[in-house]
Structure 1
Amino acid sequence: MLMTITAPSQAQHASAEGVRVRFTIEGKALSATLEDNSASRSFLAMLPVEVTLEDYASNEKIFYPAEKLSTADVPDGVDPEPGDITYYVPWGDVALFYRDFRYSAGLVRLGRFDEGAVPVLSASGSLKARIEIIK
């Protein structure tokens, strides 16, 4: 998987609660709101980043961050819904769900797209994306 890292944000976030990020996927801007947990704070620290989203299991797009995200205070798992942004601890990938899926142990919710993500994410094949904090 190709991943180009740009200079990470220098700001350390004490909280990720309500922080908004922009995913620009194939030229379409989608906003998302993050939850507050150690994985979300780790995710914020790596932004901005450019990635290639790969389809996985016809229900999510995934990418592997350059480093594993912290999972110090996360629940054992979640039941993801379309529009959820998650981190799968066992494999170390970020997953963007565009279809419903069952409860999965080791899955951590980072946040949720505000709206409009499902049609963009469900496009077939790989997608180029830039992820950045909305200031």
Structure 2
Amino acid sequence: MTSIDIVSGSRRWTANIEDSPSARDFLVQLPLTLALNDYAGNEKIADLPRPLSREGAPDAITPRAGDLAFYAPWGNLAVFYRDGHHSPGLIRLGRLQGDVAEFGGKEPFPVTIRQAERSE
């Protein structure tokens, strides 16, 4: 399993990325610098440079706090800090480790997403 780091200032989160066509397509785009904006009070979102593969992806998922996902209809990355609703077109890319509550709040914040120096 591949790990990534999401860094904002002195804060750092690690996520384990799944082995799927969508997740591999996401990894190819790293490193990324994005501005995460709040959406619906349960996730932070940012546009990706290009859409990810939907090959083999389920039609819909019900996201949980800590999920890193791709929302195909809009082409954006989503980081869930609260559980979400069953969503057609949402593809799980991986899971964040640790406390994701720090992603909460209405203020946008910049992040850099890169492959972690170590992989499992």
TM-score interval, smaller chain: over 0.9
Tell me which amino acid in the other structure corresponds to 1:106.
G
- Aligned residue type for 1:28: R
Aligned residue number for residue 100 of structure 2:
117
Deviation at residue 115 of structure 1 after TM alignment? 1.0
**Secondary structure at 2:56's aligned position in 1?**
coil
Paired AA for residue 94 in structure 1: L
2:37 corresponds to? 54
SS at match of 1:129: strand
Q: Normalised by the size of structure 1, how large is the TM-score?
A: 0.83
Distance across 1 between alignment mates of 2:83 and 2:96: 14
Shift of 1:87: 0.5
**Matched residue, 1:134:** 116
**Normalising by the residue count of structure 2, what TM-score does the alignment of the two structures yield?**
0.93
Greater relative contact order (Cα 8 A, min sep 6): structure 1 or 2?
2
Where does the alignment leave 5 or more consecutive residues of structure 1 unmatched? 1-17
Give the strand-richer structure, 1 or 2.
Answer: 2
Q: Deviations over 1:22-47 (max 9, x none)?
A: 00024201000011111101110010
Q: CA RMSD in A?
A: 1.0
Aligned length: 117
Structure 2: state its 5+ residue gaps.
Answer: none
Contact (CA 8 Å) 1:26, 1:127: kept in 2 or not?
no
